[in-house]
Each structure stands twice: as structure tokens, then as C-alpha cells.
């Protein structure tokens, strides 16, 4: 029966370098291991959310330094300083082999579900470095969404409220440290699908929890999953899978 369903994605789930491009990344081990190479913890959280709700998960473990799956074609940061100097033919091959398959899979899944009469909630899992350019980020978890889209704002408010009730010590922010309306996969999908059928939220987690590992990281993941369950309970005709 058509209703509301969940789709989960993770665009920066790893820092793998395809063998064909290994030579280009020689000497860049520190860059690959940094927040610029990937989003530590994002895939683990995404997998836990997907498993908890029986939702499909689309993820990539290829480093964003090869090509950034959360940037639009033509964006100045689509390719990094390591790959933007590659010959055009090689960049086109990277696009065809690593960029388009993920983007098309996510958009295709959402499009098929909407075509079948379902309403889709899309959670894109990310993480952010605790300190950037000497500035300490003042958040533990943040939700990025387009404030002009009522359904995204409403879901985020409910999720934040439920998380705050479950874990009152967490610093929870909206549209921080990035703007929810900025360039990204959810922004592209908002252009393709109306507010009534597509709700896209980027979940951003402070990487200090990932670095701590152990109980703090486990607790944060559990808090986010359980609070999402509360938020989804208010969605019209939500069903798992």
C-alpha cells in the first residue's frame, strides 16, 4: 500500500582509491585520511539507520578526492586538486565509473518509489571535522534541509526534538555548519521532485564521536536511530522497506 518510505545514502563513506588512479594519489596518504578524503563514521551510521528501518542503502567508499558524489556537475569542487588536472577523457571515465552510478541509483530508487505512489524521506549521512581552519564547530549533530520546504523543516524539527529529549546533553543545530540549500545531492533531487513527495535531509555528525569510538559513538548512533523512529511515527502512513 503506498505511503511514506525511507531511503538512505552515504556519499563519502570511505577513502578508497581505485587501482587505476593509485599513482595520482602517491604521497597523499595524509590528505586521504583527513576529513577531505572521506566522512569517518558516516557509512556506519547510515548502515545502522537503514538496518533499523529496513530501508535501502546506497553508499560509496571511493574517496571524494577522486570525484565528489555530493557535488553537482560543473561545480568547482567536483574534482579535487589531485584529479582536476587529469586529461578530460580520464575525468569523463571517472564520472562514468564512479559518479553517475551512485547518483543514478539514488535518484532511480527515489523516482521509482514516487512513481508507485509513495512519498520518500531521504536521509543522506555525513560527518564533519570538529575543527576547520582553527575554528571549533559548535555542534554535535546537525540537520541540513531547505527551510522553504515545509515537510523537510517539520521532519527535522521532530527529529531534533526527539533527540534532545533522549540525549539532552547533545548540541543540536539546524543548517550548520553548512547551509541545507547549498549544492549537494539532496538539492538536485529537490529540483526533480516536489515537496509533497520528496523530503531530503542531510544528517551531519561531529567526527569527534567517531574518534572516541566505544560507548560515546555507540550511544550517539542509538540516539539518532531511536529519535528518527519517533519522528517517522508522525509521518503519514509510514512503513518500513
DSSP characters for 54-113?
Answer: T--EEE--B-TTT--TTS-TT-TTSS-TTTTTS-HHHHHHHIIIIIHHHHHHHHHHHHHH
The reply to whether 19 falls in a domain is yes
The reply to whether 238 falls in a domain is no
The reply to whether 241 falls in a domain is no
CA atoms within 13 A on the CB side of 86: 24
Domain that holds residue 121: 4-233
The reply to whether 102 falls in a domain is yes
pLDDT at 234: 87
Domain count within the chain: 1
Percent of the chain with pLDDT over 70: 97
The reply to whether 156 falls in a domain is yes
Which helix H or strand E contains 9, and what residues bound it?
strand 4-10
The reply to whether 29 falls in a domain is yes
d(CA 200, CA 182): 13
The reply to whether 60 falls in a domain is yes
The reply to whether 240 falls in a domain is no
Arithmetic mean of pLDDT over the chain: 95
| CATH for 54 | 3.40.630.40
Residue 237: pLDDT over 70: no
> Which backbone phi and psi does 190 adopt, to 5 degrees?
-65, -30
Q: For residue range 177-220, what is the model confidence (pLDDT) as tens digits?
A: 999 999 999 999 999 999 999 999 999 999 999 999 899 999 99
Q: What pLDDT band is residue 1 in, cutting at 50, 70 and 90? A: very low
pLDDT at 235: 80
* Predicted TM-score of the model (pTM): 0.96
**C-alpha to C-alpha distances, 103 to 17, 60, 107, 199, 234, nearest whole angstrom:** 19, 10, 6, 17, 29
pLDDT at 177: 93
d(CA 222, CA 70): 26
Helix (H, G, I), strand (E, B) or coil at 233: helix
Amino acid at each position: 500500500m503506498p505511503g511514506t518510505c525511507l531511503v538512505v545514502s552515504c556519499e563519502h563513506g570511505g577513502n578508497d582509491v581505485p587501482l587505476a588512479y593509485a599513482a595520482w594519489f602517491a604521497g597523499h596518504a595524509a590528505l586521504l585520511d583527513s576529513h577531505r578524503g572521506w566522512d569517518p563514521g558516516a557509512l556506519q551510521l547510515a548502515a545502522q539507520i537503514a538496518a533499523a528501518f529496513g530501508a535501502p542503502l546506497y553508499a560509496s567508499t571511493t574517496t571524494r578526492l577522486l570525484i565528489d558524489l555530493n557535488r553537482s556537475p560543473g561545480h568547482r569542487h567536483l574534482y579535487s586538486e589531485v584529479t582536476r588536472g587529469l586529461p578530460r577523457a580520464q575525468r569523463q571515465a571517472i564520472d562514468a565509473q564512479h559518479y553517475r552510478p551512485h547518483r543514478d541509483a539514488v535518484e532511480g530508487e527515489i523516482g521509482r518509489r514516487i512513481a508507485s505512489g509513495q512519498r520518500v524521506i531521504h536521509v543522506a549521512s555525513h560527518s564533519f571535522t570538529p575543527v576547520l581552519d582553527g575554528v571549533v564547530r559548535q555542534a554535535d549533530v546537525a540537520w541540513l534541509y531547505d527551510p522553504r520546504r515545509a515537510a523537510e523543516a517539520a521532519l527535522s524539527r521532530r527529529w531534533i526534538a526527539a533527540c534532545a529529549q533522549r540525549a539532552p546533553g547533545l548540541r543540536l543545530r539546524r543548517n550548520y555548519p553548512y547551509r541545507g540549500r547549498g549544492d549537494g545531492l539532496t538539492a538536485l533531487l529537490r529540483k526533480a521532485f516536489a515537496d509533497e513527495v520528496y523530503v531530503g535531509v542531510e544528517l551531519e555528525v561531529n567526527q569527534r564521536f567517531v574518534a572516541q569510538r566505544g560507548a560515546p559513538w555507540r550511544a550517539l548512533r542509538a540516539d539518532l536511530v531511536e529519535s528518527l523512529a519517533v519522528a517517522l511515527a508522525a509521518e503519514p502512513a509510514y512503513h518500513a522497506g
